[in-house]
Structure 1
């Protein structure tokens, strides 16, 4: 397992002008439940912030439901909290690598995390996002991507992609979704780039959603999705 120790410099990273400052986490006296895995965390609360990396954050929110997997990716250590140095594992070029990231994160003019964030100030999404940004060459490289790549980076596993069209057998699709869920597979959903009907129903075009659950309610097949943006499904 190799170790990567590179640096992200704000002036060279294509960051938005809204980034007012970088803050060092350990100076803020965050506790372990705020930085690392928290069993009470609501996985629908992960947001992508001011950058188009739903392809990364949506898979991350599904992965975060697995405590052991998340703690493999970002091991919780007292050393990290004390010194503001964090280790993040990623799978790249056929091997697991350890990325060393510090606790400096870009903030916007309101003092909130500029990119990945949660409503309850959990910081592990920011740190994992920063590690992937380092791998790709900067935060600006996170704009647009494929959730299959994100799953590969974070789990090392191969993915199956199912493309839907007008000829898709919906009964078979539902059976497969239930089967994948029962097997514990991690899943996301992607919307097309241009589809007006999605917007009418409160869903974003060209966006990735985490698939959190499936059920049948009053005869309707439903999937519970986690949105990393601010859109809300209107229930139609």
Structure 2
């Protein structure tokens, strides 16, 4: 079988620093220029209405939990008008005192997967200000806001108006606990626009949103398998390194009895639900080391009631310093032991700008490359290795160069594979996709074009073939890398 053929593609390196689609110069989603639009409406003394995502039923979409009567009673209001109806005399603000994981609670949209990722995002100020430009306010106001997301190799700037869906004078979407703070529902609206509608945010996995917030390395673990195969030590080490790198970490419980209904178990955990991992810590209890994981329920309540919960007497057996970690508020955040974490959660997802946490070396540099291609029936959709036409699949050549004098030791290759949705998120059909890595035999002649870019800790990573040489470590992810989806 030839290693290369007419379907072979070469490196298509996107988004050089400063070019359109980079972190510093995001592409204009729907060709809408935030600055130009705001200046225009300020000069005209009018408020912006987004004709590409208007305040109507199409933008809301078909919300499963709303019947026709309720949908007819959805009213789209700007923040100031909503506050007037709530008899709130305060002025609306964009963000007060910085962004926090405790700023918001889930509304009527089944998007706990998105909010779990958002909770994790608040831990990294650099990523937070990349996604949420903090120079926005209701001063010099024109009813227009913008947010940035990473989409398949490019950062995009998404413009929205500030009409928000309400019912009975309450936000139907995510709500801010500060009644006059609106960065979260506005961010949710921008992401809904990216997905196609609010309804297109119903159900998903946190890894999708983590990827769109970072453009970084993503991976997932099946916790029961990790635990049953005795890999708790490796999991703990990875979680510890990931938190040190300010990675976004989320997890999810399995559906109960095959149903995706969010039933509350006897231990306080919610079935088919996404949580964010906010910290890990090791404490000494009665002479033994205990590994603890801290989690946050995006509902803003409903916590674990097992060992090491907020009211557990086990906290009385640790040092005074460790007792300071005890959580005493019913805010949805709680601690649990690593073993209970593995027993009660099905998956954990991690996403980080930089892959260094995978091997513990937080200083090394990586090469970053992007390939784009497609599987086309009759031309480049060759199936798996057992198929006769396997060689017609898209092929990419990666040459791993090494300089043992400058960089001795093993090298690593990390690969990530993604499928681009062609239509609205909820209507996208996700296919089983995979990749195979083969070694080119010595003496085989190939046409090559080398174009690499060095990525360091303080640069945003782009999707996503990382290259640094010989030993191979692989991750394989799609936009839906698991059959599990998480509702409210």
The TM-score, its normalising length taken from structure 1, stands at 0.86
Shift of 1:185: 1.4
- 1:213 is matched with 279
Aligned structure 1 segments of 4 or more residues deviating by more than 3 angstroms: 77-81, 195-198
Shift of 1:225: 1.0
Q: 1:8 to 1:221 in 2, by over 3 A?
A: farther
- 1:163 is matched with 222
**Counterpart selection for 1:11 from 26, 35, 57:** 57
Partner-residue secondary structure (3-state), 1:43: coil
Shift of 1:158: 2.9
Shift of 1:79: 6.4
- 1:115 is matched with 173
**Counterpart selection for 2:158 from 99, 106, 131:** 99
Partner-residue secondary structure (3-state), 1:179: helix
- 2:303 is matched with 232
Q: Is the 8 A contact 1:53 1:143 kept in 2?
A: yes
- 1:200 is matched with 266
Instruction: Provide the C-alpha distance between the structure 1 equivalents of 2:151 and 2:120, rounded to a whole number of angstroms.
Output: 20
**Which of the two has greater helix per residue?**
1
Q: Is the 8 A contact 2:100 2:122 kept in 1?
A: no
1:30 maps to 2:96: no
1:187 maps to 2:249: yes
Instruction: Provide the C-alpha distance between the structure 1 equivalents of 2:282 and 2:256, rounded to a whole number of angstroms.
Output: 28
**Counterpart selection for 2:240 from 156, 178, 181:** 178
1:46 maps to 2:72: no
Shift of 1:198: 7.6
The TM-score, its normalising length taken from structure 2, stands at 0.44
CA radius of gyration, larger in: 2
Larger relative CO (CA 8 A, sep 6+): 1 or 2? Answer: 1
Gaps of 5+ in 2: 1-26, 33-51, 84-90, 308-488
Gaps of 5+ in 1: none
Q: Is the 8 A contact 2:164 2:171 kept in 1?
A: yes
- 1:62 is matched with 120
Instruction: Provide the C-alpha distance between the structure 2 equivalents of 1:176 and 1:232, rounded to a whole number of angstroms.
Output: 25
Instruction: Provide the C-alpha distance between the structure 1 equivalents of 2:232 and 2:148, rounded to a whole number of angstroms.
Output: 37
Q: 1:209 to 1:44 in 2, by over 3 A?
A: farther
Shift of 1:231: 2.0
- 1:222 is matched with 292
Q: 1:169 to 1:37 in 2, by over 3 A?
A: farther
Number of residues of Structure 1 aligned to a counterpart in Structure 2: 231
